[in-house]
Amino acid sequence: MDFGFAAQVINGSTNSILKKILNKVKLGKLTYLFFGIKTLFSKQAINLELTLDEKSYQLDNLFFISVANSLYFGGGIMIWPTASAKKKEVDIVYFKNGNFYQRLQSLLALLTKRHESSHTIQHLTGVDVVLKSKEKLLLQIDGETCTANEVTLTYQERSMYL
């Protein structure tokens, strides 16, 4: 689940005329690159309150925030080197909305798997996650977009029947 940059890229790409044109020549994935570059130039910031296992964090002026329970998210990008679907905790990765160079540097650190050595990328883990905002925020979950003021995620262990 992503807010900010990734959600804006997915939202812009999903129903764009550019994607329809590029899909005809089997280059539809380039749409994400185009909207990624376009969104990188925007300075839209996200302000939200993150409650993680009953501890609150006020996160202001964010450019990117992703919550995941697996090692990779959208397009095979690693969320965090120690992330795993086998753990109870979800991983939250985020960075602030700095200048263009800082945003680019943070995104490149994600793409090149330099998460832990980056000075800008922050990481938290938790079992119970609540994200709240005073305004409706655009978010994307598995490529589908929607808006919400509050999202609550709780770990549940379930049996699988075969």
Q: Is 82 among the domain residues?
A: yes
> At a CB cut-off of 8 Å and minimum separation 6, what does 149 contact?
132, 133, 134, 135, 136, 137
Q: Is 116 among the domain residues?
A: yes
CA distance 31 to 53: 38
Q: Is the dihedral of CA 151, 82, 62, 127 positive or negative?
A: positive
Q: Is 125 among the domain residues?
A: yes
Query: Tell me, what's the pLDDT at 36?
Result: 87
Looking up residue 113, the CATH number of its domain turns out to be: 2.60.200.40
Domain count, the chain: 1
Q: Is 160 among the domain residues?
A: no
Q: Is 158 among the domain residues?
A: no
| Domain boundaries, position 147 | 2-153
Task: Please give the mean pLDDT across all residues of the chain.
Answer: 89
pTM of the predicted protein model: 0.85
Q: Is 117 among the domain residues?
A: yes
Q: Is 162 among the domain residues?
A: no
Q: How confident is the model at residue 90 (pLDDT cuts 50, 70, 90)?
A: very high
Q: Which of 44-58, 70-84, 100-114, 131-145 has the lowest average pLDDT?
A: 70-84
pLDDT at 74 over 90: no
- For 19-64, how does the pLDDT look when each residue is reduced to its tens digit (9 = 90+)? 889 989 999 888 888 998 899 888 789 999 999 999 999 999 999 9
